[in-house]
Structure 1
Amino acid sequence: MNSPACIVVVNWNGADDTIRCLRSLEPVRSSACMVLVVDNGSDDGSAARIRSACPGTEVLELPLNIGYGAGCNAGFRRAEELGARTMIFLNNDTLVDPSFAMALLLVLSEDPTAGMAVPKILYADRPGTIWYAGGEVNLGCGLVQHTGIRRNDGPGYSRPGHTGYATGCCFAMRTRDFRAVGGFDEGFGMYAEDVDLSLRVRQLGLSIEYEPSSVVLHRVSASYRGRPLRKLWLRSKGILRLLRKHGSWMGMLMFLLLEPFRLVRGAASMAALSVTEVLHSTRCREEGGAV
């Protein structure tokens, strides 16, 4: 991590999450790694609260909520002004391992063909369970999915290597590559803009590298708690826009045909996980242990 790096965190009315994230970043912050919060037009006093709780953090206040991708692009421009040569985009509803940044930035410094570096991401409330261990994308059949999602962490998810796409939850890039690819397509909403960016990075002849020694905990969908139907609608809309943009009409048809089955499978997996948690909690109480 010899060149200046900047960790960009986008906030919208989420000061509590953002402050927790920034405090987990304290061991990472140094003269070689700055932290920038982009406040995306919050109307709840977030910017002032973040400045008060984390006085060493630069806050870029935007007048309106311009969306996640546009907020990241604004953060990129400010990071370049501050002299950053590499960036890590990080969701505000995350907690990080102290070595997470070094591991990602080493990938970029040691491999000139790597365009993006991504960590292993675990559920914050189930830190032994995978949320993201790489990504699989197949435009021809409309498939976009995380590798290992809702599975127990283990050796199979601890091997570094190429992967299909980076998640916007956390990834590292060189500023020159982000500029060359044109940044995020601001026409996307909350979903699939990261897959689109990844595909354009791959079109430049660069790879996306999964680095499992970098670990992030994610409080999944903090922005849409209690609104699962809205999340589902936005995700489907984003993927259909992605398939249309990249000219995969067959993929659009296959996505519409197969998505109901994928949703049922995902719901069954989540239900099984919930039952396991309840049984574990009950057993711990019966044994007088901690839950």
Structure 2
Amino acid sequence: MNPRIHVMILNWNGSKYLSEAVQSIKNNNYSNFKITVIDNNSNDDSLLKIKNQNINIISYSHNYKYAKGYNKAIFELDDDDCDYYLLLNNDTVSDRYLLDSFAKAISKYGDNYIMGAKILYTKNKNKIWYAGGKFGFLNLFVSHNGIRKTDNSIYDNDCLTDYITGCCLLISKKNINQLKGFDESFNMYGEDVDLSIRAQNIGIKCYYISQAKLWHHVSASYGGNYNLSKNISKITSLLKLIIKYPKKIILGL
């Protein structure tokens, strides 16, 4: 199985990392893919740094943030040439086998899944940032499996998981169309959790793929860990998720 994967990288002022994110995908050993960078009205030189990369670039005159930025690109392009969309943060570095690992997972498990990768920190390449997601009061409502733990064999098994992080999210064109994309009322956080829950409500499961791997400059996309507006957005989105899905988020049911 050799599905056509359309890699979409959402960018806003990603001058420091975007070029590396693009190049790491281009270095993949998988051949049946294309790359589109979606720019949310950046005012830095990030697009200048990738102008010779021979990739598709969509430039918006407004910062539509995550949900609307991806929705506009996906549904305006309506790419008949792709089977899957891989949505990536602009501050990631992909393993050269990332796309191949996803293609093998599709062949093994089928297409009725949203899939995510093992994501590690760039500053500590063996420390996990995401190895699946979980819900529930005891898990601080929404959290990552393995976060800040050293990678080991525990995280080397593919498994169903509560949600897929939007940092690296693989979804079929069929499924994203069926779900009508992301809920744009989530401004910057929570849209990935919401998409995952809506998907599971109609029988589309979430699968963590352990051999698909990349590294993440955590929080670089949003101004660092202690950015005030980022933290306010996180709290607001969590409250919206709790109101919308109380049993799922609070009890993990």
Residue 82 of structure 1 and its aligned partner are, at CA, apart by: 5.4
Task: Give 1:224's aligned amino acid.
Answer: G
TM-score for both structures, normalised by structure 1: 0.79
Residue 215 of structure 1 is matched in structure 2 by 213
Residue 122 of structure 1 and its aligned partner are, at CA, apart by: 0.4
Residue 241 of structure 1 is matched in structure 2 by 240
Residue 183 of structure 2 is matched in structure 1 by 185
Give the conservation status (yes or no) of the 8 Å contact 2:19–2:46: no
Question: Secondary structure of 1:185's match?
Answer: coil
Distance in 2 (alpha carbons) for counterparts of 1:140 and 1:200: 22
Per-residue CA deviation, residues 179-238 of structure 1 (Å, 9 max, x unaligned), is 101111111122111100000111111211111111110000002226443332221111
Question: Secondary structure of 1:81's match?
Answer: coil
Per-residue CA deviation, residues 130-172 of structure 1 (Å, 9 max, x unaligned), is 1000000238986110001011110111111111100000011
Give the conservation status (yes or no) of the 8 Å contact 2:136–2:249: no
CA 1:82–1:43: 2 relative to 1, 3 Å:
farther
Residue 223 of structure 2 is matched in structure 1 by 224
Q: Does 1:23 align with 2:23?
A: yes
Distance in 1 (alpha carbons) for counterparts of 2:249 and 2:20: 43
Distance in 2 (alpha carbons) for counterparts of 1:142 and 1:225: 21
Give the conservation status (yes or no) of the 8 Å contact 1:6–1:79: no
Residue 13 of structure 2 is matched in structure 1 by 13
CA 1:157–1:3: 2 relative to 1, 3 Å:
closer
Q: Does 1:126 align with 2:117?
A: no
Residue 202 of structure 1 is matched in structure 2 by 200
Residue 104 of structure 2 is matched in structure 1 by 106
CA 1:174–1:39: 2 relative to 1, 3 Å:
same
Matched ranges for 1:42-191 at <5 A: 42-52=42-52, 54=53, 56-77=54-75, 80-81=78-79, 83-112=81-110, 114-138=112-136, 143-191=141-189
Give the conservation status (yes or no) of the 8 Å contact 1:165–1:199: yes
Gaps of 5+ in 1: 255-291
RMSD of aligned residue pairs (Cα, Å): 2.4
CA 1:79–1:137: 2 relative to 1, 3 Å:
farther
Question: Secondary structure of 2:16's match?
Answer: helix
Bigger Rg, structure 1 or 2: 1
Bigger relative contact order, structure 1 or 2, given CA contacts below 8 A and separation 6+?
Answer: 2
Residue 250 of structure 1 and its aligned partner are, at CA, apart by: 9.3
Residues matched between the structures, number: 250
**Greater fraction helix:** 1
Residue 79 of structure 1 and its aligned partner are, at CA, apart by: 5.2
Task: Give 1:62's aligned amino acid.
Answer: Y
Residue 32 of structure 1 is matched in structure 2 by 32
CA 1:192–1:139: 2 relative to 1, 3 Å:
farther
Question: Secondary structure of 2:193's match?
Answer: helix
Distance in 2 (alpha carbons) for counterparts of 1:249 and 1:208: 14
CA 1:250–1:100: 2 relative to 1, 3 Å:
closer
Residue 277 of structure 1 is matched in structure 2 by none
Task: Give 1:91's aligned amino acid.
Answer: N
Identity of aligned residues (%): 30
CA 1:143–1:112: 2 relative to 1, 3 Å:
same
CA 1:11–1:81: 2 relative to 1, 3 Å:
same
Distance in 2 (alpha carbons) for counterparts of 1:220 and 1:186: 23
Distance in 1 (alpha carbons) for counterparts of 2:186 and 2:89: 17
Distance in 2 (alpha carbons) for counterparts of 1:3 and 1:47: 28
Task: Give 1:51's aligned amino acid.
Answer: K
CA 1:155–1:29: 2 relative to 1, 3 Å:
closer
Question: Secondary structure of 2:148's match?
Answer: coil
